[in-house]
Structure 1
C-alpha cells in the first residue's frame, strides 16, 4: 500500500496534509491528531510524570552494564560513544514526532504502515515485540540472580536450601505478585508514580557507587574468614585508561543503544501527555535523555574507577564480592532491584500493543484478550530469564539488532520515505546519516559478537 501526500487512507481514515513539512510542523497538531490525542488522554499526564515515565522506559538493566563497557572502551572513548548515542536518540525522537504531526499517526507501528504498507507495520511491530521481550527478560534476569543474593546478605548461617533463596522461585513469585498486576493496568500514565519512585532508586544507586569508590581498595582484595587474598598485584591495574579497545568493545554501542531505547514508549506517552504538542513532547524527551545520560555516566565512571579491569558485566556482582554484608550496598541493591522490577510493567505496554496491532487491530478492546496477551508475555519473559546464562548476551544481541532498528534505522528510513523535503535539506540529510549509522553499527557489532561466541 503506497501512501502519498494529500491522500486519504481508506483503511484508517487518515488525512495527510499536502503542505510542505515545514508548514505542517508550524501547526503543532493537525485536527485529526488533536482529536485522537484528546480521545486517548483523560485528563492527561503532567510534564513531570511524563518525564519520569520516559526515564523509566530508558533506564533499567543497562545502568548495570555500562561500567563494564567503560572498562573496554576507556573513559574518553566511552564518553564520546555515550554522548553520540544520546544525541542521536534525541534526534531520532525528533524525526518520529515530526512524522507523527505530518501523518496524524499516533503509534510507531502505524508509521511503518503509512510508510511501507502492511509489511512495514508487521516488521515494526515484530521488532518492538522482540526488543521489549529481550529488555524485560534482562530485567528479570537481574531479579533472578541478585534478589536471592540480596536476601542472603541479611541472613547468617547456611540457608542455601530454602525456597526464598532460590532465584527461579523468587522470580515466579515476583512476576505473579507484582509485574503481572501492574502490567494489567489499562493506561501507561498510571505508572507515573511507580516510575518516579524508580527514578529516585536509580539516583540513590549512582550516589552509592560514588561513595563506595573509596571503600574498596586497589589493588583489589577478597576477605574470607579473616584472611585477606589479594587478587590484583599490578599497580597498573589501578590506573584508568582513557582509550581501550578489545574484542569485548563490540558490546559497547549495542549496550548503549539498548540503554537509551525509549522510542516504543514515546508515542503512547505523547498520547497521554497533558496539553500535547510536538515541542512539549520534545522537551519531555530531551529532559529524560539528559538526566538518564548524567546518571548513566556517573554510575559507569565511578563503577569503573572502583573495579577497573575487574569490573563485572553486571556491576552489582562486584559489590557483592568485595563488600559482602555492607548495609548501604545491601540497601541500594534492593533499591535497584525494585527500580528494575518497576520498569518491566512499563515495557509491557508497547509489547502488548504491538501484538494487538498485528493480530487484533480491527477488534474492539477486550479485557479477556488484554489479560491473555499480558499473561503470555509474562510467561515468555520468565522462561527466557530462567534459561539465558549471561545478561551481556541480551545487551549485545538485542542492542545490535532490534534496538539499532528502533533508534536509528526505522526513524531515518521512514522520514526519508514520508518527507517531501529536498534530499539536501538538513533534516533529510540527518535522517540519511541516522539510517546509515544504524545499519553499519548494527551489522558490524552483531558480526563481532557472533564471532566472539564462535571463538569461545
Structure 2
C-alpha cells in the first residue's frame, strides 16, 4: 500500500469514527448520574485516540484491502462455516455416548446440549453488539466486563482451539494409512501416518493463512458433503435386511451410571463452535439480530439433526457393543473406505476453522502485552443503548461500518500462523492418541467457551439493569457450565486415577 493511497483514505476513515456522544465509559456508576459535560474530556480523548489509531494503521500500511471492504458474509456461508466447526470427529463417537445413556436419555441429552449451545451463542452475539464497530471478539468483550482477565480468557481459548486442531491432524494421520492399505497400496511411505500428517500441513497452508473466515465457505461446504455421505452410510447399514439382529434387551431406553459424567463432555464438545461466533458477527454483511439468530438456529439445528440420526441408527445397528469410533464397527469395503476418506477430508478442512480463532486470540494477547509494556492507553467503550435497541443497529450505521482499528500486520499474521502450524505438526506426529486429552478439553475448555463465559459476560454487561428473562437465562447457563466443569472434570480425574483409559 503506497503512502499516497493511505493519505487519500484518511478523510474517509475520520468520518467513519463514531461520534463520541454515542458512547459512555464503562464505569460502575448508574447511567444518568454524570452529564456529558463531565464526560467530555474523556470522550474527547477516546475519540482522538481512535482516530489517531486509524491514521497510524493506514499510514503504516497495516491495512489489507479486504479489511476496509464491506463484509460479505451471508446466513448460508456463515452457517456452513459454523456447522463445519461443529460437525467433526464428535459424530463418530456419538453412538457410543448414546449407548452409555440409553436411546431416549441419549436423545434428550443431545437435544438439551444443542439448546444450551445455542443459548451460549445467542448470549455472545448480544455481547458482540456492545463492542464498537466490527471488532468484536472474546478479548473485546472481556475488556468491557473483566478487563484484567481478558488476556487469560483469550489465552485459554487459543489453547483449546490449538488442541482441537492437533486432534484433527492425528485423526487424518490415523485414517489415511488405513485407506491406502484398503485400496491396495503397499508402499511403506503411503502407510506412514507421519507422511500423511506432513502432507496435510503442506496442503493446509493456503487455507490456514486466510484472514477471513468467510473465505473458507467453499472448503466448509465440501467438508459437509462428507457428513451427508456418512449420514447415508449409517442409514444404509441399519436398514440392510441382511443385518444380524441384536440380542433381545440389548437396546436400553434409559441407562444411568457414573459414566454419564465422563460422556457428557462429548456432547458438550460436539456442539462447540463459539470461538467463531465473533468472526461470523463481524463478517456478516447484515449483522442484525435477525441475521445472526438465523445463522445460529440453522447451524445448531442442522447439527442436532445429524447427531440424532447418526447416534440413534449407529446405536440401533451395533447395540451396547458400539465402539467409540463408529467406522471401526463396519467391515472393510469400498463404501466404508470412501466414508473414511470423506471423514479424513472433513477433519482436514476443519483445521483452518480452529486455526483462525486461535490466531485472533493470540493476536489480542500479544497486543495487550505490548501495550502494557509500552504503557499505551487502551480505551474500550460500551454502547449507551438498551439491549433491544442495540440489537437492531442498521447496516448503514457508522458504528457497524467503522474499519477495524486493531488489524494484524502481515508479518504478525504470517508469524503466528506459522508457529501454530509448526507446533501442531510437531505434537501430532509425536502423539498417537488424544482421547483422554479431548475429554479434558471438553470438560474444561469447551464448557468454559460454550456456557460459563457467555453467561458471565452477558450478566456483567446487564448487572445495572433490571432482571429480565435473558438475564436469568444467562445466570442459569453459567451455573450449568460450572456444574458440568466440576462434575465432569472430577469424573475424568477419577478415571485417570483408576487407570480406566
TM-score range, shorter chain: 0.7 to 0.9
Which residue of 74, 83, 91 maps to 1:63?
91
Contact 1:421 1:428 in 2 (8 A): no
Residue 358 of structure 1 and its aligned partner are, at CA, apart by 0.3
Distance 2:45 2:306 in 1: 44
Structure 2 counterpart of 1:121: 150
Matches within 5 A, 1:55-454: 55-104=83-132, 106-117=136-147, 119-155=148-184, 159=186, 162-176=188-202, 178-214=203-239, 217-218=243-244, 235-236=247-248, 239-319=250-330, 323-324=331-332, 326-360=333-367, 365-420=408-463, 422=465, 424-454=467-497
3-state DSSP class of the match of 2:101?
A: coil
Residue 300 of structure 1 and its aligned partner are, at CA, apart by 1.4
Structure label with greater radius of gyration? 2
Structure 2: 5+ residue runs without aligned partners? Answer: 1-24, 32-38, 50-65, 372-405
Tell me the alpha carbon deviations over residues 52-82 of structure 1, each in whole angstroms, 9 at most, x when there is no partner.
Answer: 1111121111111111111111111111111
Distance 1:439 1:14 in 2: 41
Distance 2:445 2:303 in 1: 21
Distance 1:273 1:262 in 2: 16
Distance 1:248 1:390 in 2: 21
3-state DSSP class of the match of 2:146?
A: helix
Contact 2:250 2:320 in 1 (8 A): no
Distance 2:455 2:47 in 1: 25
Distance 2:336 2:68 in 1: 42
Rate the CA distance shift 1:440–1:11 in 2: closer, same or farther, 3 A.
farther
Distance 2:69 2:115 in 1: 29
Tell me the alpha carbon deviations over residues 266-286 of structure 1, each in whole angstroms, 9 at most, x when there is no partner.
Answer: 111111112221221111011
TM-score norm. by structure 2 comes to 0.76
Tell me the alpha carbon deviations over residues 222-277 of structure 1, each in whole angstroms, 9 at most, x when there is no partner.
Answer: xxxxxxxxxxxxx24x7311122344332322111111111110111111112221
Rate the CA distance shift 1:256–1:172 in 2: closer, same or farther, 3 A.
same
Residue 422 of structure 1 and its aligned partner are, at CA, apart by 4.8
Distance 1:444 1:13 in 2: 47
3-state DSSP class of the match of 1:65?
A: helix
Residue 440 of structure 1 and its aligned partner are, at CA, apart by 0.5
Residue 380 of structure 1 and its aligned partner are, at CA, apart by 2.3
TM-score norm. by structure 1 comes to 0.83
Rate the CA distance shift 1:174–1:278 in 2: closer, same or farther, 3 A.
same
Structure 1 counterpart of 2:55: none
Does residue 49 of structure 1 match 2:56?
no
Residue 14 of structure 1 and its aligned partner are, at CA, apart by 12
Residue 155 of structure 1 and its aligned partner are, at CA, apart by 0.5
Rate the CA distance shift 1:437–1:40 in 2: closer, same or farther, 3 A.
farther
Residue 365 of structure 1 and its aligned partner are, at CA, apart by 2.9
Contact 2:208 2:352 in 1 (8 A): yes
Distance 1:14 1:249 in 2: 55
Distance 2:220 2:188 in 1: 32
Contact 2:97 2:263 in 1 (8 A): yes
Q: How many residue pairs align between the two structures?
A: 410
Residue 421 of structure 1 and its aligned partner are, at CA, apart by 5.9
Residue 13 of structure 1 and its aligned partner are, at CA, apart by 6.0
Tell me the alpha carbon deviations over residues 297-331 of structure 1, each in whole angstroms, 9 at most, x when there is no partner.
Answer: 11111122222222221222222xxx11x111111
Which range is displaced more, 122-131 or 104-113?
A: 104-113
Q: CA RMSD in A?
A: 2.6
Distance 1:384 1:121 in 2: 27
3-state DSSP class of the match of 1:360?
A: helix
Residue 49 of structure 1 and its aligned partner are, at CA, apart by 1.0
Distance 1:357 1:305 in 2: 47
3-state DSSP class of the match of 2:324?
A: coil
Residue 424 of structure 1 and its aligned partner are, at CA, apart by 3.8
Contact 1:46 1:274 in 2 (8 A): yes
Rate the CA distance shift 1:165–1:396 in 2: closer, same or farther, 3 A.
same
Contact 1:254 1:445 in 2 (8 A): yes
